[in-house]
Structure 1
Amino acid sequence: MTGNTAPRSGHPPLQTVSTGIVVAIVGFFSSFPILLQGVAAMGATPDQAASALMTAAVAMGVTGAGLSLWKRQPISVAWSTPGSALLAVNAMPQGGFAEAVGAFLVAGLLVAVAGFWRPLGRLTAMIPGPIAQSMLAGVLLSLCIKPFQALAISPAHALPVIAAWFLVGRVNRLFAVPAAVLAATAVTIWAAGFQIPAPPSVLTAPVWVSPQFSIPATLSIALPLFIVTMATQNIPGIAVMRSYGYQPDSRPLFTTVGAASMASAPFGAPATCLAAITAAMCANPDCHPDPKQRYWSAVVCGLFYTLFGLFAGIITSFAGLAPTGLLGTLAGVALLGVFAGSAHAALEDPEYREAAAITFAVTASGVTILGLSGAVWGLIAGAIVVIAKRR
């Protein structure tokens, strides 16, 4: 067992430094288009979107490095990619981005409370995994079909991105989406006639958004964001670490990432959470033979996340030049793997298959009734089926 008693080391081993850099590149460039799509759907302006990307990267970088140094374990932290996907298909709240920010704060508070108040943590764990996964799959469906819709409308823009993702993915799945990002970059430069204006500023300035709170936004944005983040990021992140022999105490970790979410929300960032995929990259033996040295990879990864975040304004300015549908294509191919995993997890267990299918169908329909989004109604419908079958 690997606890948090690793001896202090004066400097990180070179192997963990290289791993940390690779993890940061994969983690950031594989998912930033999804975050931008999510906050844009919530009504963020370009400056607010740049602030959201910057603050989200800094929040997960500082939190991941800090937790890893504190616990001497490879605690990888991320922004909630499934949560951002949820935002991308949700209706913009009546109060605009300020109301969405209020919902981000509430979701962060719920995660923090789940860390130190056991009843809420247990209540979250009571949601059947297949139901939560089917809700996520329903959310992702409309995003995952966008690359192929774009292929029919603008093949010259969509085809290079899809081809780069597919071909590189045959060699190394981890670099498939970064390769698609490079292809999208080339397409954007070509579409702009090789005339790329310089950004107004190299470093990104944070933009404060005074939060507004409403019951509809809490129910349609905050609650699903909390459930998706806990079910698909925080809880699996703990499970991944335990699978490699570490025994983290989940309570302070949940409380810390929840607090980080609350601190970054007024600057537009949706949710900070524990990572699952990148956690495996930092915690596995390929990172370093000595389990007590692997935490350095998460520290280095956190430092590079923070560095990338400082230049988020350049990324969002460039993204604004992208042809129509290109970011949607990029986000779609980035989420195809997540969609496949969530759909498999949703339908794998025969006991929950019917409820999961109904949850998926209702969520994917995008229906909005009484101000509540399809994700909420999907959860409700799935819960009703599960309860009815048990009686």
Structure 2
Amino acid sequence: MIARLPPIPAWSAALIATLVGFGGTIALVVQAMRHLGASTDQTASAVTALCLGIAVGGAALSFRLRIPVVLAWSTPGAALLAAAPAGLSWPVAVGAFLSAAAMMVAAGAIPAFARAAERIPTGIAAAMLAGVLLPFCLQLFRLAAVDPLLVGLLLAVFIVARRRLPLYAMLLALAAGMALTLLRGDISALPPGDTLGSLSAIVPAFDVRVILSLGLPLFLVTLVSQNLPGLAVLRSAGYEPPARPLVLGSGLAWLVTAPFGAHGVNLAAITAAICTNAEAHPDRDKRWTVGVIYAGFYLLLALIAPMAVRLFLALPTNVIAALTGLALIPALLGAVETMLGDETTREPAILTFLAAGSGLTLFGLGSAFWGLAVGFVALAILRR
């Protein structure tokens, strides 16, 4: 008997989720890698590794668990990296990626570690994330003094699209920004580098201060703002996702790809909602095939990842900064809502938000660490 192919809606849902996940935030990922000192080839390797981790990990989990497991890279994590103190070397950054990935694997494999992670107040973690995201969103409006046409166009397209076509808002804004750049002739020559997917392994360097100020916040923000919402999306679709295997599986995909520059492989939330609803596949028991199709599209993206990286590196820095700020507005909105949702942690969360958004660097530790430290201390004092 010939196996029937999944219906057309399954393919279209997977394709839309891929375009939204990749196209909406690739500019931020490229900016974060370059900020951490990655070369063009190393940035291409990082994006290739991310796509491979999403593809292989998602396909394996979907096939094994028979549920549509949709993985993604950590968008909040990329914002955290782009806000890290300047001057880090790429091997030290890769060491922080590996450390955060190891923490995620431990959260999935060790029950005691998982229980400790679950006890972290979501309001504090969300406040740290909101503080990290705020400077990027503010920079969007600061750029209006330099290029009012660019910012006005992007905002207009984004606002109208969020009302009419919310799923495609960021893609339409990206297309508008690219079109304006081409019309102006502002795009530079593509930097030299590979065209097809390539991997470049880095010997990591482990720095305790970087692990505390970058690796630990990266783990927390990925767990709280990516993996936990991803589990909630699967539950809302009528599934009973086993939390530990999913966290462990995505963590292992991250751990394997981290030496090549992957900053975070985790459960998706928004794109997962596209692939897990009834419109993606009418048969809930066969909807896991949408996760496999989605993984196949990311495998194709892995083949052309270096070309995409080179294209974004050819864009003016103002365009990249504006697109980054715009892409993070929905994430900032969600973080602020979570930060203020629990009245018992609201004051410590505000202190965390202010400290994390201040850009403070003290004793070699960045503002994300100090935001968490201030929030935990304030919470402990209030509870006593």
The TM-score bracket by the shorter chain reads over 0.9
Amino acid in the other structure paired with 2:174: V
Residue 91 (structure 2) pairs with residue 80 (structure 1)? no
Q: Quote how far apart the aligned CAs of 1:200 are.
A: 5.2
Counterparts of 1:106 and 1:93 in 2: how far apart (Å)?
A: 19
Q: 1:40 aligns with which of 3, 28, 34?
A: 34
Structure 1 partner of 2:380: 387
Picking from 310, 317, 322, the partner of 2:303 is 310
Shift in Å, 1:111: 0.5
Contact persistence 2:191–2:313 (CA under 8 A): no
How far residue 327 of structure 1 moved from its aligned partner, in angstroms, is 0.6
Q: Choose 196-205 or 34-43, whichever is displaced more.
A: 196-205
Give the secondary structure class of the aligned counterpart of 2:317: coil
> Hey, what does 1:161 align to over in structure 2?
154
Q: Distance in 2 between matches of 1:236 and 1:166?
A: 25
| Counterpart position of 1:5 | none
The question of whether the paired residues in 1 share the 8 Å contact of 2:188 and 2:314 is answered with: no
Are the equivalent residues in 2 in contact too, given 1:191–1:323 (CA < 8 A)?
no
Query: 1:184 maps to what in 2?
Result: 177
Residue 288 of structure 1 and its aligned partner are, at CA, apart by 2.2
> 1:239-295 CA distances to partner (integer Å, 9 max, x unpaired)?
221122211211122111111111111111101001111122111222222211221
Looking at structure 2, the residues matched to 47 and 120 of structure 1 have their Cα atoms a distance apart, in angstroms, of 36
Any idea what SS the aligned residue of 1:213 has? coil
- Note the 1:96-107 alignment, pairs <5 A: 96-107=89-100
Return the alpha-carbon distance in structure 2 between the equivalents of residues 272 and 195 of structure 1.
Answer: 31
Query: Contact (CA 8 Å) 1:139, 1:364: kept in 2 or not?
Result: yes
Give distance in 2, aligned partners of 1:200 and 1:243: 43
Alignment of 1:1-391 (within 5 A): 10-92=4-86, 94=88, 96-192=89-185, 201-391=194-384
SS in 2 for 1:18: helix
Paired residue type of 1:105:
L
Q: Is the 8 A contact 1:93 1:217 kept in 2?
A: no
Three-state SS of the structure 1 residue aligned to 2:278 is coil
- Pick closer, same or farther for the CA change 1:378–1:289 going to 2, 3 Å: same
Q: Distance in 2 between matches of 1:150 and 1:89?
A: 17
Please say if residues 51 and 313 of structure 1, whose CA atoms lie closer than 8 Å, have aligned partners that are also in contact: yes
- Name the Cα RMSD after superposition: 1.8
Contact 1:80 1:273 in 2 (8 A): yes
Q: Is the 8 A contact 1:114 1:121 kept in 2?
A: yes
What is the Cα deviation at residue 93 of structure 1? 5.3
Are 1:199 and 1:314, in contact at CA under 8 Å, matched by a contact in 2? no
Could you say what secondary structure the match of 1:372 adopts?
A: coil
8 Å contact 1:130–1:345 — kept in the other structure? yes
The alignment's TM-score, normalised by the length of structure 2, stands at 0.95
The one-letter amino acid of 2:378's match is V
2:47 & 2:159 partners in 1: Cα distance?
Answer: 26
Instruction: Tell me if the contact between 2:124 and 2:348 (Cα under 8 Å) persists in the aligned partners.
Output: yes
Asked whether the 8 Å contact 1:131–1:352 carries over to 2, the reply is: yes
Alignment-mate amino acid for residue 111 of structure 1: M
Q: Distance in 1 between matches of 2:87 and 2:61?
A: 34
Q: What is the one-letter code of the residue matched to 2:63?
A: L
- Between 202-211 and 25-34, the greater mean CA deviation after superposition: 202-211
Say if 1:137 and 1:339, in contact at 8 Å, map to a contact too.
Answer: yes
| Corresponding letter in the other structure for 2:133 | L
Scaled by the length of structure 1, what TM-score is found?
Answer: 0.93
**Alpha-carbon deviations, 1:93-148, whole Å to 9, x = none?**
54x01100011011111101111101111111111011111110000000111211
Could you say if the C-alpha distance between residues 208 and 190 of structure 1 is closer, same or farther in structure 2, counting changes exceeding 3 Å? Answer: farther
SS of residue matched to 2:159: helix
The 10-residue stretch of structure 1 (356-365 or 8-17) with the greater mean CA deviation from structure 2: 8-17
Distance 1:198 1:385, change over 3 A: closer
Aligned to 1:4: none
Structure 2 alignment gaps of length 5 or more: none
Counterpart secondary structure, 2:310 = helix
- 3-state DSSP class of the match of 2:72? strand
Residue 197 to residue 37, structure 1, CA distance change in 2 (3 Å): closer
Residue 13 of structure 1 contacts residue 293 of structure 1 at CA under 8 Å; is this kept in 2? no
Closer, same or farther in 2 for the Cα pair 1:214/1:102, shift >3 Å? same
